[in-house]
Amino acid sequence: MRFNKYKIAFLAAVLLLLPSLAFSQAKVGTTGVNFLELGVSARAMGMAEAYTAGVTDASAVYYNPAGLTYVYGRQAMFTHIDLPAGINYEFFALAYPMESVSGVVGIGIYALNTGDILRTDYSYPTGVDQSGNKQYFSAGDLAVSLSYSRFLTDKFSLGVTARYIQENLELEKASGWSADVGTCYNSGYRNFKIGMVISNFGPDMKFIKDEFPLPMNFKFGASIDAVDSDNHLIMLAAEGSHPGDNEEKYNVGIEYWFQDKFSLRVGERFNYDSDGFTAGGGLVLPIGEEFDLSVDYAYQEFGFLNEVHRFSLGLVF
């Protein structure tokens, strides 16, 4: 046990030091592939994404890979996000416990598409050709990730994620990779958990001739089951983050469950460019004796661009 305590202390120290080393080279306001900063879970966004410590579903491949150890059974998840200007963002994740590797393996797929955009450049200043036909172009982002997590002790888990990233603009492409490292400690008292994660750590990407850093971020959060009775559960969560390209941000959220089947969520995000209020809810529907289907929705204020809606489906099998 003494060895495990030293190992945990060492890993925590490394995780705390990584942000200062990584962000020392970050350039404020100049990061690329910012789609990686968009929340991918309706459940998480409903409670303002105060989710680093409390994540217990397949979206842990995004929020904190260490949280994969708390996923119940095998789980698949899909999220659709309607963004302003007709932009669509899709996310798919799979969490699969594997005894052969003594842990949980996760897969994540991220895809953002702008749809057709009217082309107004030197060749088509009005967006139409000589025949009067409208000219369009498209842009999009894609990322694929592989995660692994395991318990190092009965209370402390570690997770890592490796991610391939591709950004497309018409015929031009940029590609690169990033990594996440996360930890989660469960005190055992009222499910009080502390989570830490550094995300999108990796080399600069190059688009045509310009290089840009990744949107690295360090998050530290905590969650606790303030109420846990036969029919009711209330989880309180809070976290702070230090983005490599911006000021510190803070998130707080509350999640209420009734009989583990119906949930309501509300949260607030502080020091963000857009308004911070979020809300949402969800249902868990048993399908036979071996499957559970979860349906979640989240509303997010988005400043002068009105609001963003997220819909997530999850399947435990």
- The per-residue pLDDT string of the chain (317 residues; one tens digit each, 9 = 90 and over) reads 444 555 555 555 555 555 544 454 444 556 778 899 999 999 999 999 999 999 999 999 999 999 999 998 999 999 999 988 889 999 999 999 999 999 999 999 999 998 777 777 767 776 677 777 777 777 899 999 999 999 999 999 999 999 999 998 877 889 999 999 999 999 999 999 999 999 999 999 988 788 889 999 999 999 999 999 999 999 999 999 999 878 899 999 999 999 999 999 999 999 987 768 999 999 999 998 889 999 999 999 887 667 899 999 999 99
Residue 215 within a domain: yes
Which amino acid, residue 234?
A: I
Residue 284 within a domain: no
Domain count, the chain: 1
Buried b (16+ CB within 10 A) or exposed e, 192-205: bbbbbbbbbbbeeb
**pLDDT given at position 24:** 45
**pLDDT given at position 211:** 87
Residue 312 within a domain: no
The owner of tokens 């052969």 is: 100
Residue 270 within a domain: no
The owner of tokens 């998130």 is: 251
**pLDDT given at position 268:** 97
**pLDDT given at position 243:** 92
Q: How far apart are CA 206 and CA 183, in angstroms?
A: 30
Residue 52 within a domain: yes
Tell me if 49 sits within 8 A of 267, measured CB to CB: yes
**pLDDT given at position 306:** 77
**pLDDT given at position 28:** 52
Tell me if 58 sits within 8 A of 71, measured CB to CB: yes
Tell me if 314 sits within 8 A of 294, measured CB to CB: yes
Sign of the CA dihedral running 162, 193, 92, 151: positive
Which of 149, 156, 250, 241 shows the shortest CA–CA distance to 200?
241
Residue 282 within a domain: no
Residue 127 within a domain: yes
Q: How far apart are CA 28 and CA 247, in angstroms?
A: 9
**pLDDT given at position 3:** 46
**pLDDT given at position 287:** 93
Q: Where in the sequence is the domain holding 169, given as residue range(s)?
A: 2-260
Tell me if 17 sits within 8 A of 257, measured CB to CB: no
Residue 28 within a domain: yes
Helix %, strand %, coil % of the chain (to 5): 15, 55, 30
**pLDDT given at position 12:** 53
